[in-house]
Amino acid sequence: MAVEKILNYVGIVGVIAFLFIYGFELAPHHDGPPVSIKWIKENLGTEGFWYVNL
């Protein structure tokens, strides 16, 4: 029972993180890479970008 609750919370956090990272893409279209992708690469580097998208 406790494991199910933990997995539920992990899933909820995952959905919130996904929406936070890619939610900006729901805004009107813009040129170039998505804003969230540019921010991740600038602040975490390409390697950090890979880890975020696992």
Distance set, CA 9 to CA 14, 17, 31, 49 (Å): 8, 12, 35, 23
Residue 40: Cβ-neighbour burial (10 angstroms; 0-12, 13-18, 19+): buried
Please check whether residue 38 is in contact with residue 24, taking contact to mean a CB–CB distance below 8 angstroms: no
Residue 13: predicted pLDDT = 94
pLDDT mean for each 10 residues of the chain (54 residues): 90 89 69 76 81 73
Give pLDDT, residue 19. 83
pLDDT of residue 40: 81
pLDDT recorded at residue 37: 77
In the chain, domain spans = 2-52
pLDDT of residue 30: 64
